Amino acid sequence: MLEEGDRNFNSLVEISTPQGRNPVMVQTFLPAAKDGDKRIILLNGEPIGAVNRIPTGAEFRGNMAVGGRVAKVDITEREREICAQLAPVLQRDGLYFVGIDVIGGYLTEVNVTSPTGVREVDRLDGVQLGQKVIAWAVEKQGG
């Protein structure tokens, strides 16, 4: 995380981009991140579960891989709107099983290769999302 006027800005850009040869993505820090980073699991564009990943200790990220704790959470109307807007694009691109991240009502990421959080949703909500995904895939294939 960088602050405006950070003295290390130039060196971080040089290191992160191998002297400007590789692009990087930068996003604005959203203060609502302190309350959690909601992972919403989508199947064919429809939200099927969610988990809130909350930062712990000095870490500002809520990712489970860096020690974030998880909590049961509902999907808000705003988040359903985000999913509905995103669904046609995901379907067009053949992205049927994804995890999106939402902080403070803003879409921050679309995870298409590793939509983690399914096991946490299963445990917190008493569901089995994996079975739902497999059943959908079998049906889609005509089996």
What ranges do the domains of the chain cover? 29-140
Mean pLDDT of the 23-41 span: 90
Residue 66, pLDDT above cutoff 80: no
Q: Is the pLDDT of residue 59 over 80?
A: no
The pairing of strands 46-54 and 69-72 is antiparallel
The C-alpha atoms of residue 82 and residue 99 are separated, in whole angstroms, by 13
Share of the chain above pLDDT 90, in %: 62
Compute the distance between CA of residue 115 and CA of residue 87 in angstroms, rounded to an integer.
Answer: 16
Greater model confidence, 4 or 109:
109
29-140, what's its fold?
D-amino Acid Aminotransferase; Chain A, domain 1 (3.30.470)
Q: Does the pLDDT at position 128 exceed 80?
A: yes
Regarding pTM above 0.75, the answer is yes
The alpha-helical segments, DSSP class H, found in 58-115 are 77-92
Residue 53: is it exposed, middle or buried by C-beta count within 10 angstroms (0-12/13-18/19+)?
Answer: buried
Mean pLDDT of 59-83: 87
pLDDT given for residue 74 in this prediction: 96
Q: Is the pLDDT of residue 143 over 70?
A: no
The number of beta carbons lying within 10 Å of the beta carbon of residue 12 is 12
Residue type, 39: R
Residues 6+ apart with CB under 8 A from 36: 52, 53, 54, 55, 62, 71, 73, 103
- What pLDDT sits at residue 102? 97
